[in-house]
Amino acid sequence: MFTIVTLFKNIVIHLRSGAKFLFAFIIGLAIIVFAIFLVYKPMYSVTLDGKFIGYTEDKNELQTKINKYMSEGNSDNVAFVEIETLPKYSMCLMKKNTKDKKEDIFNTVIASGVSYYKYYAVLNKGEEKYYVPTYEECEAVINSLKEKESNNIDDITYTIKYETELKEFVDTGTIVANLYVEKPKPKPQPVVVGNRVTATGSVNTSLNVNYSYANLGSVSLIQPVSGVISSRFGARSSIRSSAHTGLDIATSKGTPIAVAASGTVTFAGWKGSYGNLMVVTHADGVQTYYAHCNALYVTAGTYVEQGQIIGEVGTTGNSTGPHLHLEVRVNGVAYNPQNYLYN
Ligand SMILES: [Zn+2]
């Protein structure tokens, strides 16, 4: 019994001294570690292409910032940034006063970066004309041109661009204004039935002429055609029993006739010896007559602007060759057109 108790006591004593030693060892180590961390801190030494560029404590924060920059760049239109070499990190213990150069490291790393910009080009017939930052702006340009029925709508396309150079952007309003092409106005179609145009409206064909000068009020006339005067106002001839109510201007068949002043067409169509006749009623009781036409482009009731093409020179009715018979009437009485034109 005694020996067993002694042995047990001895074991306890030994254990106790072993624990004491272990405890002392741990305390000692802790003091050493504490002392080390009192003077030093763990940091990352950062190298780029084998070249040291600085120390940082926040490897994760730095790398996150670099990754974010690579995926977003520094402007809205950067698609991504290509950085040739990425930094390498190795952990080390540095004195507590070692400066964290996170910002400098970041700037050094991104300095080698190449930004790829994402934007859109608006093309006309396959040629890049304008650049916009978003897809929505391309759609806005196309839709606006469609709405305005631009004649070149089929030529306008757009494409996405990934380039290392950012182009100057143009606002959609300017692009639309510059690309818009007006649709050509349809050429007026002559209303011809045989060589007789179906008449619309009414006309005064009195042979009442006046050789004096009549004031046309607010109306001023332009020459409907250019040509050679073949018969003057008041003249009598073998094919005419009374005084000539107008002025004849000979020119080739098909020559466009421009209306002498703005007004409303009050007669258009076949009228006996006049052939195909158009009468335009202007302000202040003034009317102009265009006779022997090959074709008439407008019908009675149409408002026509001065200079608008209303028909073609012909030789219909009582006529021996292509010419325009032009009359100027005031309150139904014919006056000499050469008072106002071709003089
Ligand atoms: Zn005539």
- pLDDT at 195 > cutoff 80: no
Q: Is pLDDT at 52 greater than 90 in this prediction?
A: yes
306 with 231, same domain?
Answer: yes
Ligand 1 centroid distance, CA of 270 (Å): 15
Confidence of residue 235 (pLDDT cuts 50, 70, 90): confident
Q: Is residue 2 part of a domain?
A: no
What pLDDT does residue 78 have? Answer: 87
Distances, alpha carbon 338 to alpha carbons 14, 57, 231, in Å? 145, 101, 11
| Residue-range definition of the domain harbouring residue 45 | 41-111
Give per-residue burial for 229-267: e unless 16+ CB within 10 Å, then b. Answer: ebbebbeeeeeeeeebbbbbbbbeeebebbbbbebebbb
Give 196 Cα–ligand 1 centroid separation in angstroms: 18
The whole-angstrom separation of Cα 195 and Cα 204 is 22
Q: Which of 90, 111, 132 is the last residue of a domain?
A: 111
How many whole angstroms from 338 Cα to the centroid of ligand 1? 13
The closest of 67, 91, 328 to 222, measured between CA atoms, is 328
Instruction: Using a cut of 0.85, tell me whether the model's pTM lies above it.
Output: no
For ligand 1, the distance from its centroid to the CA atom of residue 246, given in whole angstroms, is 5
Per-residue pLDDT reduced to its tens digit, 290-318? 999 999 999 999 999 999 999 999 999 98
Q: Which residues pair with 234 in a beta bridge?
A: none
Query: What average pLDDT does the segment 72-90 reach?
Result: 87
* Per-residue pLDDT at 183: 86
Q: Report phi then psi at 137, rounded to 5.
A: -70, -35
Please check whether residues 240 and 324 belong to one and the same domain.
yes
Strand locations in 110-207 (E): 113-124, 127-132, 156-163, 200-201
In a domain, 28, yes or no: no
213 and 297 belong to one structural domain: yes
Residue 240, helix vs strand vs coil: strand
Give the Cβ contact number of residue 152 at 10 Å.
14
The pLDDT confidence band at residue 161, using thresholds 50, 70 and 90, is: very high
pLDDT (0 to 100) of residue 266: 96
Please give the tally of structural domains in the chain.
3
Q: Which residue has the tokens 């404590």?
A: 57
49 and 165 in one domain? no
Does residue 219 sit in the same domain as residue 313?
A: yes
Of 111, 138, 154, which marks where a domain is finished? Answer: 111
- Ligand 1 centroid, distance to 70 Cα (angstroms): 85
* 3-state SS class at 15: helix
Nearest to 40 by CA among 16, 53, 57: 57
Q: How far is the CA of 237 from the centre of ligand 1 (A)?
A: 10
Distance 224 CA to ligand 1 centre (A): 14
∠ CA 21-27-30, nearest 5°, is 140
pLDDT over threshold 80, residue 226:
yes
Q: State whether the Cα torsion 30-34-40-43 is positive or negative.
A: positive
